[in-house]
């Protein structure tokens, strides 16, 4: 059982700063504690309210006692490794630039052969790649057809005027379609994601390079402090594209003499590591994965969800990159249907961005997986990797449903059963 844990947490690609991630994690931890009937205390350290702090901290104390088990308590220090300002910088660009760089990035992943690797590794992610292209194609074809129809109907007004009216109608439909696609399907955010992924692969953004350097330095400091405290579980956790940042920064940090022999547990949930690692230009990233797995032999647990097309379901962070030696990461399947209420799942099951965030959102039901209980609860991550469930002692079991003592149940008893 874990009494003390240090978590270095890399959020996923969402246009918000670490402060919002801290608040969301707090809500999730409090919700998990209520579901499992646990006592919880959360503390924001002094000075943790700086909105520009790149490494805000949250202290969580969780405790409880199940029948037949001694009372337990786990103290967790969580450091959030913020890179939301970089994401917001992509979102702050003019519409036309976000649009063009996003589709140029999509073309890069296609021409480089990366898309074929997506389909070979996880065909669902290949379909996710097609989503912005299909949206654009459908919108353009619809605009062309409408423009042709309007021009045909207005042919009696003269060729020039009919062509102008057709062009206006077609462009209006394209603009309206793209506006709705962005509002309902977050098209521009998806394009920013692809643009940033391309910049990571090709090392085109000095700000990303500098942030990775800072994160590696902070990882070195935090992990060295944690390793110096006996009995502390060391965890580096990441969601979505944050897995790329975590892997690159962790590889750099573990190469430093102060962390010689230190083996933190790497937890990736809904990972988009393959999004960039499968690109031919991302050789540094693939080498980082190889060093972590084959040389440093770190324990690595990768949680994947069938319902989420934005993670690489049925992939493996190492073997899918052709890395067979060393300590192969453990893959755990997560079933979103078990995490939320039936009505919630019906509402979100076709919203793939919402499904993707469920990896790090509060759960509504007791289930084998809870991101917040994984990082603050009593079970070692290594146990979860093999047991694939955290809902076990020393956590209290679910109460048994009441027995049916109705008249109907009595009549269903076999004859002669009464005393």
DSSP 8-state class, residue 291: I
Phi-psi region of 178 (alpha: psi -120 to 50; beta: other; left: phi over 0): alpha
Query: Can you give the residue ranges of every domain in the chain?
Result: 4-86+205-387, 93-197
Domain 4-86+205-387 listed as CATH 3.40.50: yes
The structure tokens 């020039």 sit at 160
Measure the CA–CA gap between 274 and 256, rounded to whole angstroms: 26
Q: Is the peptide bond before 22 cis (omega within 30 degrees of 0)?
A: no
pTM, entire model? 0.91
Q: Of the candidates 181, 3, 26, which has an alpha carbon nearest to the alpha carbon of residue 99?
A: 181
Per-residue model confidence as pLDDT tens for the chain (419 residues):
899 999 999 999 999 999 999 999 999 999 999 999 999 999 877 555 677 889 999 999 999 876 667 789 999 999 999 999 999 999 999 999 999 999 999 999 999 999 999 999 999 999 999 999 999 999 999 999 998 888 888 877 888 888 888 899 989 999 998 988 888 888 999 999 999 999 999 999 999 999 999 999 999 999 999 999 999 999 999 999 999 999 999 999 999 999 999 999 999 999 999 999 999 999 999 999 999 999 999 999 999 999 999 999 999 999 999 999 999 999 999 999 999 999 999 999 888 899 999 999 999 999 999 999 999 999 999 999 999 999 888 886 665 554 544 444 445 444 443 32
Are the C-beta atoms of residues 200 and 235 closer than 8 Å to each other? no
Measure the CA–CA gap between 124 and 337, rounded to whole angstroms: 18
Quote the tokens at residue 152: 């045909």
Are the C-beta atoms of residues 35 and 69 closer than 8 Å to each other? no
Measure the CA–CA gap between 339 and 308, rounded to whole angstroms: 13
The confidence score (pLDDT) of residue 182 equals 86
Percent of residues in the chain assigned helix, strand, coil, to nearest 5: 55, 15, 35
Measure the CA–CA gap between 396 and 398, rounded to whole angstroms: 7
Quote the tokens at residue 166: 């057709």
Give SS3 for 314.
coil
Measure the CA–CA gap between 349 and 355, rounded to whole angstroms: 7
């Amino acid at each position: 059982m874990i009494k003390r844990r240090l978590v270095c947490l890399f959020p996923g690609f969402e246009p918000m700063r670490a402060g919002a991630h801290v608040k969301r994690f707090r809500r999730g931890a409090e919700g998990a504690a209520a579901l499992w009937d646990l006592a919880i205390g959360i503390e924001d350290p002094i000075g943790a309210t700086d909105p520009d702090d790149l490494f805000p901290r949250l202290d969580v104390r969780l405790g409880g006692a199940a029948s037949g088990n001694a009372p337990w308590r786990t103290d967790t220090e969580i450091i959030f490794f913020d890179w939301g300002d970089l994401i917001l910088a992509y979102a702050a660009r003019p519409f036309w630039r976000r649009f063009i760089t996003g589709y140029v990035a999509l073309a890069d992943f296609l021409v480089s052969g990366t898309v074929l690797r997506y389909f070979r590794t996880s065909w669902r992610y290949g379909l996710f790649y097609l989503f912005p292209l299909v949206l654009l194609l459908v919108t353009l074809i619809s605009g062309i057809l409408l423009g042709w129809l309007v021009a045909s109907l207005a042919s009696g007004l003269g060729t020039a005027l009919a062509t102008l009216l057709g062009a206006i109608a077609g462009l209006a439909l394209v603009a309206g379609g793209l506006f709705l696609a962005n509002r309902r399907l977050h098209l521009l955010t998806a394009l920013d994601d692809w643009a940033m992924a391309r910049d990571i692969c090709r090392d085109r953004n000095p700000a990303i390079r500098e942030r990775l350097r800072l994160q590696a330095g902070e990882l070195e400091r935090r992990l060295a402090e944690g390793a110096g405290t006996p009995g502390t579980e060391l965890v580096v956790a990441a969601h979505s594209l944050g897995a790329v940042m975590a892997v690159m920064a962790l590889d750099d940090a573990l190469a430093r003499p102060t962390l010689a022999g230190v083996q933190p547990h790497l937890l990736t949930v809904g990972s988009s590591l393959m999004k960039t690692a499968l690109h031919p230009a991302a050789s540094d990233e693939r080498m980082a994965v190889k060093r972590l797995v084959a040389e440093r032999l770190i324990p690595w647990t990768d949680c994947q969800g069938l319902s989420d097309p934005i993670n690489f379901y049925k992939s493996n962070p190492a073997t899918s990159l052709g890395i067979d030696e060393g300590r192969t990461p453990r893959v755990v399947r997560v079933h979103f249907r078990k995490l939320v209420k039936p009505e919630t799942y019906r509402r979100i099951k076709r919203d793939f961005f919402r499904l993707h965030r469920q990896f790090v959102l509060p759960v509504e039901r007791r289930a084998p997986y809870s991101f917040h209980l994984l990082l603050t609860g009593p079970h070692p991550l290594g146990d979860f990797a093999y047991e694939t469930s955290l809902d076990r002692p020393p956590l209290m079991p679910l109460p048994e449903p009441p027995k049916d003592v109705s008249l109907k149940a009595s009549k269903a008893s076999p004859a002669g059963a009464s005393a």
